[in-house]
């Protein structure tokens, strides 16, 4: 007895210490709650009734409590699963209710009526538990194990499953490198990804998805939470995708599964031209009869060419009712073809999991889960139009641990401590047969290319996240009704470290030297005999940039039920979120490309900074739930909440301060015009520029005499630090939801939800005069776009900026060299306040599995309006002041024709239908998933004339940044075609009696081989040709076979 008390005191002391520690990160709500009232036949409450719940999901099998003086009972922290509730009292028949389904985060109400009679008599209620949650004001979607087992999916527990749920929109590109959905008008970097409480979101940005993969066969439930969440969920303003994995039980169970896609069972869904080598017409779009088309010779197919998987899971008791285990291993191998790129993308995935659950002492529960993965991918590139030798790959290793201890101090008080963490180490490589020299890269002038060599750039994540949380849950019913209170503290250390440099210690950046592509001018004015290139050969030591994203905070939630039919959910969270550059490292040059991962010896440590972002946020959450009908089957919900966008180190860029000095060596070559002007028109086209650059590797064309005296070898400091204006606040979204849900019949509910979201404090990188740190002075210039839109452009007022007592082209050069940027919350531009507004109307039909079938159907109508990154990128929706080294706002003209209009990646309408039905006689499950959308908006861009420092060509505007603007009315975008993807699954189990069962299944993804346009050129820098198709429906039709032995 003494020993037990000592352990209990030690635990309490440890918890207090944790609570007193400085404390945030998004967490998972892993458990559900079951409450209700026990009454007699006349409806009077019965105190002192013994109420018991039992389930295979419960360690020990059952839990018991007694009803209060008000006849109420509560079971807190119930593991998701199916439960049986039994109520017994002397003088009454024992009442049993079966098939009560508890899901993560649910609060289920089950009312019990007891009949007079003998205790030994049992009344079994055949009706299943309610399908409508009568207490929560959260509107979420839950994919439970019964549905997960029958749906035809890609076996991706995050991105693909999220797209099955309402309001989740795919990236314009297929999500392979930005696997994060757009939720209800939001951007892809507003989300958070969780596994068993581990925030596995890529610290670089949520747009890059989760850094931890999931063994699909180990998934118990997936929750997609985007509307009206509790205060415990923080650090997101889009959607929280919450994956819970299985635990063991008192019975041994598991599976061995093999999945494979026969090569000949993968279709090609790219339309073929009528005549080889010609374009493919994909239909008109917009009011000017613009066309979608596949360019001559374009290979835009995104296709799986190899895929197989071996999966093994096992779970059971180590000691019955005391210690359980669940584990699994997964091996995945796949090849795929990507648009415009001839090198296959290859992937090897190796995953292992182990979860131990225990009850070491009465009322104490603990679990620890470990996840390991060792993956390899290759065949990657930075531009699919580069040479196939410009490819690289990556080995990565991830370790993830989550651990939890719970003390049920009483039936109504639960204390929990969690520790959550993951560590990711990437090791990039170039192929063994790669050329010994790095290729020649041109990023911007006349053409873009990467040719005649191997991939130079090293890009490796060294990321981690560690979170500690302590919380207390308490249920009270003697103060103005019932209260389910939870409060806690959280502390997170996040690292989005980045290792960079060059595999060969240097890179070649080769550009044409002349200012004109006209060969006659070059001959007549300069006596040129060929096209001169300069190679800016850049030598740089390998380096490690440390980027931190730390969060500390606290939350409070109270689910208050003042009387039976009314519940008020009140929550508040406080967060302090900071990012900065930590102390990095500079390494010696690598002796071989492989040594970059060793890494080479450290030369010195890099300086860090103070906090770059330092936000202190209060997030109120309030919700109301009203049972309109006395049977608690018609529920009205309303909620309001403020949600802050998670900070990501992507905004800090890759270099950071105190970089190693780069040595620049200029190498000049001259390519004779007869090798350059292949069509003889005396003009150097983009394709001719690329062809001419291929001669740069030949030393015969080296012409050091072409190098001007004013261009000596030099050094360059790539040090860079994001600047943030004092008083800048975190971008946030205010959200209101109104929901009505009705349980129509047993296991079937229908709901309608109105959604209102408004984003404030929008981040931009405002252009400034570096010398004064003030905005430039602007004047307005009228301009008419090619589509007849008359706009007023911002033009910097010309002055004697360089102090030479003249106003001329030199001052324009000075502006270009002295433009700086500072992050701030965007203010009004031209008298227009920036905004982002989304409104949606969502209808949902949800049928829990019973009577052979289950169903999840949804329809969402969307309206949106506001400022967005339309002039920058439209092939994805990744928002922020600094995204992949791209500055937003690079210039004030990015606001022109851009302060209003539908939000990117937001469709007018979507419909989704998923479910399964067990066919009689055949006893085969038919599963289906249908996803339809009306197509996302697209805005054509164009460039406006800019005044250059040389005065040629004639310009209109003096500006900062690039010169792209939306060329149509932003409120009337053009739309991509609608898309409908149908997936089917046939699943049949064959019993082996006591030895388990064998399951055979066939999945057909994209049954009708849909090839809708999902991405096309819009006139921007990345995709300049309007309508040229660069993406179609993914995947093409693919048939997957699976064999499983289950026991």
Q: Which pTM does this prediction carry?
A: 0.91
**Count of residues in the chain:** 1047
Q: How far apart are alpha carbons 55 and 250 in whole angstroms?
A: 11
Confidence of residue 734 (pLDDT cuts 50, 70, 90): very high
Estimate to the nearest angstrom the gap between the alpha carbon of 850 and the chain centroid.
33
Q: Which residue has the tokens 């965007």?
A: 826
Kindly state the tokens that stand for 96: 């049993």
Q: % helix / strand / coil in the chain, to the nearest 5?
A: 10, 50, 40
Q: Which DSSP state fits 768?
A: E
**DSSP single-letter state for residue 682:** S
The predicted pLDDT at position 131 comes to: 86
Return the closest-CA partner of residue 370 out of 406, 326, 330.
326
Q: Model confidence over 99-142: pLDDT tens digits?
A: 888 888 888 889 999 998 887 777 777 656 788 998 999 999 99
The pLDDT value recorded for residue 953 is 66
Banded model confidence at residue 562, pLDDT cuts 50, 70, 90? very high
What share of the chain in percent tops pLDDT 90?
A: 76
- Mean pLDDT, rounded, for 990-1013: 96
Average pLDDT, the chain: 91
Tokens 């030099």, residue?
714
Nearest to 66 by CA among 50, 87, 46, 54: 50
- Distance between CA 801 and CA 808 in Å, rounded? 10
Pick from 78-82, 226-230, 1023-1027: least confident = 78-82
302 closest CA partner among 345, 262, 366: 345
Contact 61, 250 (CB under 8 A): yes
In this model, does residue 820 exceed pLDDT 80?
A: yes
Tokens of 987: 């699943």
**In the prediction, which pLDDT does 315 show?**
96
pLDDT above 90 (res 649)? no
Q: DSSP assignment of 826-860, as one string?
A: ---BTTB---EEEEEEEEEEEEEEETTEEEEEEEE
CB 328 within 8 A of CB 350: no
* Average pLDDT for 925-949: 95
Three-class SS of 541-555 = CCEEECEEEEEEEEE
pLDDT over 60 (residue 235): yes
Nearest Cα residue to 139 out of 752, 749, 645, 572: 752
Distance between the two ends of the chain, CA-based, in angstroms? 41
* 17 confidence band (pLDDT: 50, 70, 90): very low
Q: pLDDT tens digit string along 443-495?
A: 989 999 999 999 999 989 899 999 998 999 999 987 888 999 999 999 999 99
Given a cut of 90, whether residue 503 has pLDDT beyond it is yes
């Amino acid at each position: 007895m003494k020993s037990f008390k000592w352990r209990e005191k030690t635990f309490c002391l440890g918890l207090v210490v944790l609570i007193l520690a400085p404390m945030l990160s998004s967490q998972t709500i892993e458990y559900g709650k079951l409450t209700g009232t026990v009454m007699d036949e006349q409806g009077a409450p019965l105190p002192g009734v013994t109420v018991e719940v039992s389930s295979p999901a419960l360690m020990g099998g059952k839990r018991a409590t007694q009803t209060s003086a008000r006849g109420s009972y509560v079971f807190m922290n119930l593991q998701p699963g199916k439960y049986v509730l039994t109520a017994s009292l002397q003088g009454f028949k024992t009442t049993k209710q079966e098939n009560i389904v508890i899901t993560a985060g649910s609060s289920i109400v089950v009312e019990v009526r007891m009949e007079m009679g003998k205790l030994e008599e049992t009344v079994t209620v055949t009706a299943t538990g309610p399908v409508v949650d009568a207490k929560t004001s959260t509107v979420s979607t839950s994919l439970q194990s019964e549905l997960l087992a029958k749906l035809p999916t890609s076996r991706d527990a995050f991105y693909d499953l999220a797209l099955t749920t309402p309001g989740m929109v795919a990236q314009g590109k297929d999500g392979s490198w930005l696997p994060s959905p757009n939720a209800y008008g939001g951007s892809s970097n507003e989300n958070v990804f969780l596994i068993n409480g581990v925030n596995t979101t890529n610290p670089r940005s949520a747009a890059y998805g989760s850094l931890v993969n999931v063994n699909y066969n180990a998934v118990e439930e997936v929750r997609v939470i985007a509307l009206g969440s509790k205060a415990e969920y923080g650090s997101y303003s889009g959607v929280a995708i919450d994956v819970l994995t299985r635990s063991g039980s008192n019975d041994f169970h598991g599976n061995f599964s093999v999945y494979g896609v026969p090569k000949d069972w993968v279709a090609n869904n790219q339309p073929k031209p009528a005549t080889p080598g010609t374009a493919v017409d994909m239909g008109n779009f917009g009011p000017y009869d613009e066309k979608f088309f596949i360019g001559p010779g374009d290979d835009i197919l995104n296709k799986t060419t190899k895929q197989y998987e071996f999966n093994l899971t096992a779970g059971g008791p180590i000691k019955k009712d005391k210690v359980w285990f669940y584990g699994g291993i997964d091996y995945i191998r796949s090849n795929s073809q990507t648009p415009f790129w001839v090198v296959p993308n290859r992937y090897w995935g190796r995953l292992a999991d182990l979860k131990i659950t225990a009850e070491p002492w009465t009322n104490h529960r603990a679990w620890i889960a470990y996840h390991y993965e060792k993956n390899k991918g290759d065949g990657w590139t930075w531009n699919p139009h580069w040479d196939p030798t410009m490819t690289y790959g990556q080995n990565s290793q991830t370790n993830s641990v989550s651990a939890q201890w719970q003390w049920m101090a009483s039936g109504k008080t639960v204390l929990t401590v969690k520790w959550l963490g993951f560590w990711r180490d990437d090791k990039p490589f170039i192929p063994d047969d790669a050329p010994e020299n790095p290729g020649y890269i041109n990023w911007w002038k006349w053409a873009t290319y990467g040719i005649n060599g191997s991939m130079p750039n090293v890009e490796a994540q060294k990321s981690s996240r560690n979170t500690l949380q302590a919380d207390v849950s308490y249920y009270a019913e003697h103060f103005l009704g019932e209260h389910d209170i939870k409060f806690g503290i959280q502390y997170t250390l996040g690292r989005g470290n980045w290792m960079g440099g060059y595999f060969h210690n240097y890179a070649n950046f080769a550009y044409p030297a002349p200012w004109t592509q006209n060969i006659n001018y070059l001959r007549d004015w300069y006596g040129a005999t060929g096209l001169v290139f300069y190679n800016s050969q850049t030598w740089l030591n390998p380096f490690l940039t440390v980027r931190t994203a730390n969060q500390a905070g606290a939350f409070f939630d109270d689910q208050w039920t003042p009387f039976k039919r009314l519940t008020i959910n009140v929550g508040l969270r406080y967060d302090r979120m900071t990012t900065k550059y930590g102390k990095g490292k500079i390494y010696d040059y690598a002796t071989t490309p492989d040594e970059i991962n060793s890494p080479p010896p450290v030369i010195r440590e890099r300086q860090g900074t103070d906090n770059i972002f330092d936000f202190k946020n209060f997030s109120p959450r309030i919700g109301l739930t009203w049972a309109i009908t006395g049977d608690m089957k018609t529920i009205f919900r309303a909620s309001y909440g403020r949600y802050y966008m998670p900070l990501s180190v992507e905004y800090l860029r890759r270099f950071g301060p105190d970089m190693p000095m780069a040595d620049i060596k200029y190498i000049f070559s001259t390519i004779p015009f007869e090798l350059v002007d292949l069509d003889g028109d005396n003009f150097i086209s983009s394709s001719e520029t690329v062809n001419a650059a291929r001669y740069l590797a030949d030393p015969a064309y080296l012409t050091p005499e072409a190098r001007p005296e004013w261009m000596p070898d030099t050094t360059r400091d790539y040090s860079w630090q994001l600047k943030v204006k004092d008083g800048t606040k975190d971008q946030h979204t205010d959200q209101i939801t109104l929901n009505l849900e009705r349980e129509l019949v047993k296991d079937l509910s229908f709901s309608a939800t109105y959604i209102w979201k408004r984003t404030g404090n929008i981040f931009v990188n405002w252009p400034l005069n570096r010398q004064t740190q003030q905005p430039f002075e602007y004047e307005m210039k009228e301009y008419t776009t090619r589509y007849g839109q008359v706009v007023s452009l911002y033009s910097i007022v010309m002055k004697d900026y360089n102090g030479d007592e003249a106003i001329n082209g030199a001052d324009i050069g000075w502006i270009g060299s002295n433009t700086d940027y500072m992050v701030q919350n965007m203010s009004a531009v031209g008298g227009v306040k920036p905004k982002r507004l989304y409104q949606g109307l969502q209808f949902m039909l949800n049928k829990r599995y019973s009577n052979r079938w289950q169903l999840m159907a949804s329809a969402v109508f969307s309206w949106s309006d506001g400022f967005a990154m339309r002039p920058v990128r439209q092939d994805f929706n990744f928002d922020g002041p600094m995204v992949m080294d791209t500055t937003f706002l690079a210039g004030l003209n990015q606001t022109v024709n851009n302060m209003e209009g539908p939000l990117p990646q937001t469709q007018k309408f979507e419909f989704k239908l998923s479910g399964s039905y067990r066919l009689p006689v055949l006893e085969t499950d038919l599963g289906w998933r249908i996803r339809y959308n009306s197509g996302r908006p697209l805005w054509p861009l164009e460039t406006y004339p800019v005044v250059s420092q040389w005065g040629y060509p004639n310009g209109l505007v003096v500006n900062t940044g690039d010169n792209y603007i939306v060329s149509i009315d932003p409120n009337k975008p053009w739309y991509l075609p609608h898309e409908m993807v149908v997936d089917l699954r046939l699943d049949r189990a064959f019993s082996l009696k006591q030895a388990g069962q064998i399951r055979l299944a066939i999945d057909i993804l994209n049954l009708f081989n849909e090839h809708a346009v999902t991405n096309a050129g819009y006139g921007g820098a990345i995709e300049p040709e309007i309508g040229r198709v660069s993406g179609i429906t993914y995947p093409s039709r693919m048939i997957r076979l699976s064999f499983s032995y289950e026991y």
